[in-house]
Structures are given as C-alpha cells and as structure tokens.
Amino acid sequence: MKNSKLKNSLTALVLLFTIAGFAQDKSSNIVSLDEFYSKIKSQKNPQIIDARGADEFALNHINGAVNFNLQSENYGKYVAALDKSKPVFIYSIGAGRSVALEKELLKNGFAAAYSLEGGIANWIGNGKPFYTNSKSKLSLTEYNKIVAENNSVLVDIGSKYCGACKKVKPILETIKAQYGEKLKIVEIELEDSPQIIADLKNINIFPTLILYQKGEIIFKKEGINNLKNEVDVALN
C-alpha cells in the first residue's frame, strides 16, 4: 500500500515538473512598445535585431538594427558578433520570427532578450523613429481629405509581407462589390506609404481596419474577425 502511494506521489511530481517545464518553454519576453523603447533608450549601444527577411529590412527598419533570423545563411556569424552579457531587442512583422529568435538566444546563454509586441507595425505605427528608402504615396493631408470628402471610408492598413493582411483582401472585394460607390475603400501598405502609418500614430498591429462615417471613427479593429458583419451593421 505504501509503495503504491509512493509511486502515485512520484508520478504526480514528475507530471508537475513536466507541465512546469512545458509552460516555461512556451513563455517569451514579449514586451509593450513603451517598455521596448524605454529599454533601448537606456542602452548606450543597443543590440537591435530585425528578424524579418532581407527584402523587408531593405525597405524599412528601426534605426540601428541589424538584420538576421534563424534561417539566415550566416546566422552563427551574426550571433557571434553580439554581446551575450547585454540585452538584445528583437522585432519582426508581428511576433513570430522575433519570438523564435529570442527563445533561441536565451537558450544559448544570452542574459536578456526581448520581442516587440506588434512588431514593426507597432513601432512605426506609433511614430517611433525609423529608416525608410521610399516616400509615402499617400500623405496625411491627402488621407484627411479623403476622410472629409467621403461619407463612408474603410481604411485597411497592413503589409504585403503580413500573412493575416492577405486574408483581408477577399473580404474587401466582397464589401466593395456590395456597397460600390457608397463606401470608399483605402488600402495602405507599409512598403508603399510608411510615413502616413507613422503620422496616424494609432496603429499597433497589422492588419488594422478603420471605418469612418462623416469624418468620425465608427470602429477601429485589429485583425479581420467579423469585419464584414461589423461593416454591414455600421452602414445599415
């Protein structure tokens, strides 16, 4: 009887440690924009990593960032150039590649690594300084004019490199077919118009959808869940 109780206790203990280990493995240091920015500003020479692809990085990135991810050809060389004793600040288009890289660095002895919540969308979309090699196709003045001159305006803000953003397109086509000229649809991509996204200073993630009526925001939503239904409710 005692042996049976001991066996059950050991089994429960092993299960507890297994669950704890799994939970720890799943955790990550995803931090808010304010915390991410504050930590970077506290460092004399911050180690900032853009974990997106090279083509994405070439178009826009956080000032001072270097570009590599787990799939980079010279991954080991890039990691070796970092100081393990200092924090590393990582971002991507959202949080996928940045979290994967963050976990890998922590597993390999880095003192601290942080992933930016909302990625580059959050950084640029809230007006933080960034590099871009392109001029925005749409200015804030032009944006405000569109909103003012049209009764109903649906704005889609995203990136061609964002998987979730691609899923918005067919929904917009359905909405466009239904409402025609009654609804002005404006599509803004980071790669074409980074400055207008920065000037709006209220974009935290891609995709973000904003519906205006008579110049007023009816709703602002992050992601595409119930988008069609919410547009229908607002316009009917």
Residues labelled as active-site residues: 162, 165
Q: Name the β-bridge partners of 64.
A: none
Alpha helices (H) in the chain, listed in sequence order:
2-26, 33-41, 54-59, 75-80, 96-107, 119-125, 140-149, 163-166, 168-179, 194-200, 227-235
Distance separating alpha carbons of residues 221 and 203, to the nearest angstrom: 10
Lookup: tokens for 150 = 């049209």
What is each CA distance from 203 to 76, 210, 215, in whole angstroms?
A: 34, 10, 18
| Cα dist from 147 to 22, 156, 178, 179, 233, whole Å | 49, 13, 20, 17, 20
Residues whose CB is less than 8 angstroms from the CB of residue 41 and which lie 6 or more positions away in sequence, other chains included: none
The helix (H) or strand (E) run that includes residue 154 is strand 152-158
Q: What are phi and psi of 131, to 5 degrees?
A: -100, 140
Query: From CA 100, how far away is CA 94, in angstroms rounded?
Result: 12
